[in-house]
Amino acid sequence: MKSTTRLALVCLIFIAGAARSRGGDGRGFDASVAPILARRCLDCHSGADPKGELDLSRRGAALAGGATGAAIVAGKPDESLLWERVESDEMPPKSPLSKDEKTAIREWIAAGAGWGTDPIDAYQVTTSRRAGRDWWSLQPVRAVAPPEVARADWPRSALDRFVLRKLEAEGLAPQPEADRRTLIRRLRFDLTGLPPTPEEVDAFLDDSAPDAYERLVDRLLAAPDYGVRWARWWLDLARFGESNGFEFDEFRPHAWRYRDWVVDAFNRDLPYNEFARLQLAGDARSPRDPSAVEATGFLVAGAFDSVGQTQISAAMRAVVRSDEMEDYVGTVGQTFLGLTINCARCHDHKFDPIRQTEYYRLASSLGGVRHGERDLSDIDPPALALRREADVLTSKIKEVEAPARLQILARRKQSPDPPPGPIAAWDFDRGPEDRVGALKVNLKEGATIGPEGLRVDGKTGYAESPPLPFELKDRTLETWVKLDNLDQKGGAAISLHASDGSGFDAVVYAEQEPARWMAGSEGFVRTQRVDGPAETEASRRPMQVAITYAADGAIRIFRDGLPYGKSYKSKGPRTFSKGESRLLFGLRHLPPGGNRMLSGTIVRARLYGRALDPAEVAASHGSFSDFVSPEAIARALPPDRRAELDRLNGELTRLKAALAATARKAYVVEPREAGATRVQIRGNPARLGDVVTPGGIAAASGLNADFGLPPDAPEADRRVRLANWITDAKNPLFARVVVNRLWQAHFGAGIVETTSDLGFSGGLPSHPELLDWLANELVARDWSLKAMHRLIVTSAAYRQTSKLNPAALKRDAGDRLLWRKAPSRLEAEMLRDAMLDVAGKLDRKLGGASYFDQTVTKAPGTSALLYADADPVQPGRSRRTLYRAWVRGGRGGLLTAFDCPDPSTTAPRRAVTTTPLQALALLNNALVLHLADACAARLVRDVGDDPALQVERAYRLALGRKPEPAERAQAVAIVAKFGARTLARVLFNSNEFLYVD
Amino acid sequence: MSIDRRGFFSWVGGGLAGAAAASLMLRDGTLQAAVPSESNPACPHFAPKANRVIHICLCGAMSHLDTFDYKPGLIAAHGQALKSSSRPDVFFGQVGRLRRPDWSFRKRGQSGLWISDLFPHLAEAADELTVIRSMVAETSNHTPATFQENSGFRLNGFPALGSWLSYGLGSESDDLPAFVVIPDAREFPPGGAINWSNGFLPARHQGVVVRPRGTPIDDLFPARPLETGADSAARNLLADLNRRHLDDRAGEDALSARIKGYELAARMQTSVPLVTNLKGESKEVLACYGVDRPETADFGRACLIARRMLERGVRFIQLFSGGTFGSPRRNWDGHENLKNNHSEEALRIDRPIAGLLRDLRRKGMLDDTLVLFTTEFGRTPFAQSAADVVGTGRDHNPQGFTVWMAGAGLKHGLAHGSTDEIGWKTAENPVTWPDFHATVLHLLGIDHQKLTFYHNGIQRRLTNVHGEVVKAILA
């Protein structure tokens, strides 16, 4: 039908054009020639990089011709290259022009090749090959009155009249209302993702009030389980994963904050427009509201190539960033607008009226978006209160300690512990010279030396010693370094580096774990986790960090005079030959760049030709610092003061624990100012075109796509404007897209089946008026999603039976006209949750860190993590499936078998497949068998040992009904012989359990 | 019912042939026109040369210069500085002196293909090989390059070649999945299951991991022992329950498909362990694959199981050589000492792959089986070391490298394309991954432009908007 309409439209245009003169006047050109050029030529011959350098979209360029010369000689078709190519069917390649199209071109050239609108407006109208600005979904949402229907007694609401009207037009009838048992099971799964309890079923069956159904709906919408079920619906769109993917697939321990935000937003019924705005720009709109910041987890929920982002090649980094931008633009466009804007990264959209420049306007609007982990404790009121308390306590402690400290320092001045003797030493606060030998360092790029010490900028600056004139085997590297910030990753304060690049040993900050010191080495061969505490001080004062490398391979890190974490045995110290190594300061290893650069000030550094012992490290520390150990202070205080100090310290420890417990970190947008965005010709970041300003898609009618910002506007402004444009009540797509998604979630298919694509390549609406009516209702109901759920599930259309009508099936196999309520299979999460619930094992705790149902293995000597299925029967693993750690690399097992989507890609509609692997998983998986056991134990708890009672209870729990007599006898026999767990295993596997009528 | 209509019957009907039948059924309903095109012509689109594939995937980037791309120019220039106007943009930033290969090259077999002594056994099968020496990749970053090697895209979330074939062709048998993966026995490749993801295709097209030892696939048997008789009693009760349920719902295809799924699952419990049980194989066959030697037992077992699975109808089997990029090295990423690294890795696979080719030929299977041997990119002709040093390792090189194919529909004993004098950049007939994939699909009777799946506005293809079949290597 669709293509027929389009064809008719094309013909109409064509005939209209033909009727007039095809000659040189502008109107004739616009009507008859421009559409042909637009449809058949401009996909290649227009834009920033037209094929053969021939641009046919503009008069001047078209007449000037391309690489092979002038294309059009006005009045002389036979001398025109354009006509020659077209006539010989050389162009367009593969599908030559029709006879009529050719005639139009020839006559146009013959008549003088006059031009109309310049450049040709290729997007004016929809053609048989692409959508124009007149495409249905881009038009304003219309106010529609519900239609008249013949069967006036069936509709319960206006919604039903739209549905019935279509059915009647097709000669189909709806099914009657389903029985209550069916309805409560349907509603319970749909609204909360869990089965009804037998008690709920009974209560509903016994409720004779006329509004029993509506009250049930309200009760379920008010349950916290509602948010848990619907969050999964949204996270499928958000390509929400809790690990990076790619090579390392690092876990994101704080990604769950966004998941919790979604659950909470649904439970609070946050208006959908605000829901969207916060996810796009919550941090920019409310920078002091931690919850608003957490909402931006949406933008960065996708995969992240941490290796690619830090690789040395700037050209390749730009490609990775460019891919990252496509992920943002694509996800935002599809999720909120149902537009595949990402298809316009390399060229104008092939099917929808979206220019390549518009892709880059969107990219500019999102140009400041970066993946990051933010510590929101600074803006979190409870954490702030605790921190203030801790500050008060700390100053009290200092007061109590003061006399002892002064006493100790005075004594230390009189008789200092002699520091050990280094073989090279630098006091950078005094200059670049070596205080022992002649190893004066050279400053590179952005490195400077001043009264503070050696400044390295984290970008290009570092210092390098001459080749070291000694062989080094066992040794100690020591440095005093103040960091510019604690969030940096991977830089080194000091690195012993082989000149041929074959190896290094370095004092590295936060390369593998945030805020931790590490003994870096080539390929991590001598590197292990030491589990030291997170650095909190080194941004405030120079911190002594030393690493000792003993001859037997033992490596030990020291911080602030004390051992840091645990020591470990490496396979032995690497030998750095005489004259073939250097020391680097501020750089992990050569070459400079990437995440290898440190940002901070190195005050002094020491190199020792042996591994110092802890006392020596402490002595060295003491010689430069007035740090006094807590133990020494305690010893020096009188008993009563010591008791007071112990009490205060105890309180502080408790406070710090509380602070740590409330630390609010989140994986969210960590924005950076972006500068101006330029078009990338053919999507290639090495070929830059014009600068663009932040903006939206002009074809979305009824609102202004220009954000009124300069190209280099602050990134926060750009996202705020983008969020406003997307969520504008006049935006024709925003409301349509989400009500269509709700429809799909309740009926199995959307009014438009391609819910993330309302463009030309997508489907057409089965009920266009209904779609607009629903969109208007959403706005009228203050964007309340709960109100829309209520509207849909209280309709007569939704309450139908699922009974199959063969005649209707033949007419409309997909049930798009809703001649019944099609049955649905439980989603993987619902299946697992339902089994847990029936077994009496479901842990209903809401929110918090994710549980793991995989083992996580850190591959030796790399940051890569590998995830594998683990025994699912562990404490903490019986929470709702939403709360599992959704890592990207660990797919498999029961959930994948039941069509859980790959979190690396958006899943606007889950496939529902049937495979033998599902049967195997549901029959044999450890979780299923465990829950069958648990269910049996529950049956004993609930009804005692009588098999007949157990059978009845099991059926009611799992299927919401009593067994039929024939079933009962068979089931009782099995329970008597094999125990109730065998029955539970059967029920979990049954079609009746897995499908909802 | 919102069921994937391609998903009714396990793996066989899962092919597009099944889909075509289903969509014929759908066309009776006149109201289906609004669905985006599912009008793929049934696969295969034309007579296939190959019916099944073994893909050996080397993680870490095997050096073409030390294996299949003989470069006298590099040997002559050993120790010299690279003569290039611009500094190479290599992954680790170091450009040392040019380094000759660590192994001698010889002309092998009738064809005279050049293969180095690193692969002495494989070299004996030279006349079976179709070598492409002019591959180019888009990135010098391992994992995106590996994703591209397998899915055509540098990113997460795109279906792997095996998933596309599962979708397009399905399995030849109902007892086994269409797409099987056997990871390196030491470790999964980096990214784990992302490498064999179904991406946006339905989840049943994800690769199924088969373990060469122990229970071959997850959940094949109950996780704990059941009481004697309990399993069959449960199945009988389940069958009755499902039948009664279906009686009230005649015509619900999804429900009958699930019932069939349980029957197939029971068959798999018999058939799958048979495939991985090598007891019936003769001593000679085990020796041929190197199963009897400790250094080759892992990969030999994987190769032999792969052959046995192909015989029983699996469409696509992927064998990984190499794990993550850690230390000590356990894949082909020879940055530090290429000689040691490649010696260790090649030792594990050389004899098994040679044995596999010999065995497939002996059984006549090579006539309609395709063997692929690929790596994500090659390595640099200059050492990874300081500028004035001939270091012992090589860095990543996406600008020119080598892969090979063997088996059905190919010109054998042929080397296609070439790199420059020193083996750095492709000089003649560059072949991209989309070209490579288009060629593989072509050999399987599939037009790469027609194997599509609608996802978010695009009829997606394995080859994106690229890909030219490499006709020069076709028989």
| Assigned token pair, A908 | 């606007």
Specify the pairing of strand A462-464 against strand A442-444.
antiparallel
Cα distance between residue B223 and residue B221, in whole Å: 6
Q: Chain A: residue nearest B187 by CA?
A: A859
A480 & A342 share domain: no
Residues of A in contact with B183 (CB under 8 A): none
Cα distance between residue A769 and residue B380, in whole Å: 62
Specify the pairing of strand B129-135 against strand B414-416.
parallel
- Interchain CB distance below 8 Å, A925 and B187: no
Closest-CA distance, B153 to chain A, in angstroms, reads: 11
Q: Chain A: residue nearest B3 by CA?
A: A912
Residue B124 lies in a domain: yes
Return the higher-pLDDT residue of A350 and B237.
B237
- Interchain CB distance below 8 Å, A923 and B194: no
Out of A308, A862, A978, the one facing B324 most closely (by C-beta) is A862
A650 & A564 share domain: no
- Interchain CB distance below 8 Å, A925 and B391: no
Residue with tokens 């609406």: A765
Residue B268 lies in a domain: no
- Interchain CB distance below 8 Å, B156 and A916: no
A693 & A595 share domain: no
**pLDDT score of A14:** 39
- Interchain CB distance below 8 Å, A983 and B193: no
A653 & A769 share domain: no
Confidence of residue B4 (pLDDT cuts 50, 70, 90): very low
- Mark which of A85, A100, A129 sits at the end of a domain: A129
What does pLDDT average to in each consecutive run of 10 residues of chain A (997 residues)? 42 38 64 85 80 87 82 87 89 87 90 85 82 95 96 96 96 96 98 98 96 98 98 98 94 97 98 98 96 98 92 89 97 97 92 95 97 92 90 92 88 74 92 92 90 91 94 94 92 93 92 91 89 89 94 94 91 89 94 89 95 88 75 86 92 88 91 94 94 97 95 97 97 98 96 94 94 98 98 98 92 91 96 97 95 88 84 81 93 87 91 88 94 97 96 97 94 96 98 97
Beta-bridged to residue A251, according to DSSP, are A243
Cα distance between residue A299 and residue A278, in whole Å: 11
**pLDDT score of A24:** 52
Residue A545 lies in a domain: yes
A387 & A355 share domain: no
Closest-CA distance, A816 to chain B, in angstroms, reads: 8
- Interchain CB distance below 8 Å, A762 and B222: no
Out of B2, B220, B459, the one facing A822 most closely (by C-beta) is B2
Residue B321 lies in a domain: yes
Q: Chain A: residue nearest B195 by CA?
A: A889
Q: Chain A: residue nearest B268 by CA?
A: A916
Cα distance between residue A828 and residue A880, in whole Å: 11
**pLDDT score of A291:** 97
Q: How many CA atoms lie within 13 A of B40 on its CB side?
A: 28
**A143: exposed, middle or buried (C-beta count within 10 Å: 0-12, 13-18, 19+)?**
exposed
- Mark which of A786, A818, A837 sits at the end of a domain: A786
A369 & A386 share domain: no
Residue with tokens 């995106």: B144
Percent of chain A as helix, strand, coil, to the nearest 5: 45, 15, 45
Confidence of residue B183 (pLDDT cuts 50, 70, 90): very high
Q: Chain A: residue nearest B22 by CA?
A: A813
A268 & A330 share domain: yes
Interface test with B, best of A767, A920, A972 (most B CBs within 10 A): A920
Interface test with A, best of B2, B148, B173 (most A CBs within 10 A): B2
A458 & A596 share domain: yes
Cβ contacts from A onto B, under 8 A = 386
Residues of B in contact with A921 (CB under 8 A): 218-219
**pLDDT digit string (tens) for B213-228?**
888 998 999 998 998 8
- Interchain CB distance below 8 Å, B223 and A816: no
**In Å, how far are A58, A59, A66, A624, A979 from A116, measured between CA atoms?**
10, 9, 21, 82, 84
For B363, residues 6+ apart whose C-beta sits below 8 A from its C-beta are: B307, B311
- Interchain CB distance below 8 Å, B325 and A247: yes
Domain count of the fold of chain B:
1
- Interchain CB distance below 8 Å, A860 and B326: yes
A483 & A561 share domain: yes
- Interchain CB distance below 8 Å, B234 and A907: no
CATH number of the domain residue B115 falls in: 3.40.720.10
- Interchain CB distance below 8 Å, B2 and A824: yes
Residue B133 lies in a domain: yes
The pTM assigned to this predicted structure is 0.82
| Assigned token pair, A335 | 């999720």
Cα distance between residue A776 and residue A303, in whole Å: 35
Please tell me whether residue A472 adopts helix, strand or coil conformation. Answer: strand
Q: Chain A: residue nearest B188 by CA?
A: A866
Q: Chain B: residue nearest A170 by CA?
A: B31
**pLDDT digit string (tens) for A687-738?**
999 999 999 999 999 999 999 999 999 999 999 999 999 999 999 999 999 9
Q: Chain A: residue nearest B458 by CA?
A: A761
Residue B240 lies in a domain: no
Structural domain boundaries enclosing A460: 424-622
Question: Which residue type sits at A394?
Answer: T
Residues of B in contact with A908 (CB under 8 A): 456
pLDDT over threshold 70, residue B177 = yes
A124 & A255 share domain: no
A354 & A436 share domain: no
**pLDDT score of B3:** 38
Closest-CA distance, A823 to chain B, in angstroms, reads: 6
- Interchain CB distance below 8 Å, A991 and B7: no
Residue B32 lies in a domain: no
- Interchain CB distance below 8 Å, B456 and A866: no
- Mark which of A786, A814, A842 sits at the end of a domain: A786
Closest-CA distance, A146 to chain B, in angstroms, reads: 22
Residue B20 phi, psi dihedral angles, 5° rounding: -60, -45
Interface test with A, best of B35, B194, B215, B461 (most A CBs within 10 A): B194
Residue B121 lies in a domain: yes
- Report the candidate in A156, A154, A155 with the shortest Cα–Cα distance to residue A210: A156
Q: Chain A: residue nearest B459 by CA?
A: A761
- Interchain CB distance below 8 Å, B233 and A974: yes
Extract the runs of DSSP E, i.e. beta strands, from A564-609.
568-569, 581-585, 599-608
Residue with tokens 């006549």: B364
| Mean pLDDT for chain B overall | 89
- Interchain CB distance below 8 Å, B219 and A239: no
Ramachandran sector of residue A339 (left: φ over 0; alpha: ψ -120 to 50; beta: rest): beta
Residue A222 lies in a domain: no
Structural domain boundaries enclosing B408: 44-223+282-473
- Report the candidate in A239, A285, A271 with the shortest Cα–Cα distance to residue A719: A285
Domain count of the fold of chain A:
5
What distance lies between CA A79 and its chain's CA centroid?
57
Out of B31, B34, B230, the one facing A978 most closely (by C-beta) is B230
- Interchain CB distance below 8 Å, A982 and B234: yes
Residue A959 lies in a domain: yes
ipTM of the complex: 0.84
Closest-CA distance, A589 to chain B, in angstroms, reads: 10
- Report the candidate in A990, A955, A995 with the shortest Cα–Cα distance to residue A821: A995
A519 & A644 share domain: no
